[in-house]
Amino acid sequence: MDPQAPLFDTDQTCVELAEGFFMLSAFIDTAPLLAQIELIATEAMFRHMQVGGGKHMSVAMSNCGPWGWTSSSSGYQYSHTDPLTQRPWPSMPPSFMALAQAAAAAAGFDDFEPDACLINRYARGAALGVHQDRDERDLGQPIVSVSIGATATFQLGGLKRSESLRSLPLHDGDVLVWGGPSRLRFHGVKALKPTAGGPDTRHNLTFRKAK
Ligand code: MD3
Ligand code: FE
């Protein structure tokens, strides 16, 4: 890649698809992000966290940053340490922080200071059930998500679980910002179906202000 090329494609448009929900298509070259994820996973391995009823999520997760999201038989929480190692989560790479802040700023959130980055890994068939993200202290802060690798079908709901879901493909390099009333929308990801010749795995970063 051209070393003089800008880090982010700042010319490209930030589209508001619903109140507080912004899409920045093909915002970032994901190859360097994937290299960072691989490094993080050497310290804090991907694992299938336990959810209610002794089940495990099909999505594998890790974290970086001061706080990491965890799920166990006793519920969801943010913790400073990886329960597998008792060590602090790997630090958030400066390039991750810069990306999250640039995306938030493009959507009009100027002072986003994420202190948690949840890293999801989807293999073929992995899915994320429809949920709300409400474990963070200040729901006035947005969430920034970054899609890497295989295309997934995202499901966007409303503020009530009963509302119908809209499908939206998420492509490699797409960055989404969720603020305002969209911060509490229900959402999920359908079972991953990698396409022939494309990447067989998807990663997703979600930057959050947890505390
Ligand atoms: C809408 N991740 O980690 S990213 C999650 O692709 C999560 O791995 C999905 O849902 C994934 O919690 C979806 C898009 C996304 C992320 C956070 C949101 C949409 C959101 C928070 C509020 C509303
Ligand atoms: Fe979510």
Q: Let me know: does 161 contact 186? Beta carbons within 8 Å.
A: yes
Q: What structural domains and CATH numbers belong to the chain?
A: 14-208 (2.60.120.590)
Contacts by 69-77, CB closer than 8 A, 24 or more apart: 69/116, 69/118, 69/135, 69/208, 69/210, 76/135, 77/135
pTM: 0.95
Work out which ligand 1 atom sits closest to the CA atom of 69. 3
What ligand 1 atom has the least distance to the C-alpha of 176? 14
Is the pLDDT at 78 greater than 90, yes or no? Answer: yes
Question: CA-CA distance, 140 to 105, in Å (whole number)?
Answer: 15
Residue among 120, 136, 159, 206 to mutate when testing ligand 1 (max atoms within 8 A of CB): 206
Average pLDDT estimate for 164-186 = 97
- CA 73 → CA 20, 52, 77, distances in Å? 33, 6, 11
* Window from 26-30, 41-45, 165-169 with minimum mean pLDDT: 26-30
In this prediction, residue 161 carries a pLDDT of 98
The pLDDT value recorded for residue 6 is 63
Pairing between strand 202-208 and 143-149? antiparallel
CB 34, CB 203: distance < 8 Å: yes
Q: Which residues contact 100 (CB under 8 A, 6 or more apart)?
A: 112, 114, 117, 144, 207
pLDDT over 70 at 5, yes or no: no
183 lines ligand 1 (CB under 6 A): yes
What is the whole-number distance in angstroms between the Cα of residue 87 and the centre of ligand 2? 25
Any atom of ligand 1 within 6 Å of the Cβ of 187 = yes
Q: ∠ CA 89-92-97 to the nearest 5 degrees?
A: 155
Is the per-residue pLDDT at 3 higher than 90?
Answer: no
Q: What is the CA radius of gyration of the chain?
A: 16
DSSP 155: E
C-beta separation of 150 from 192 below 8 A: yes
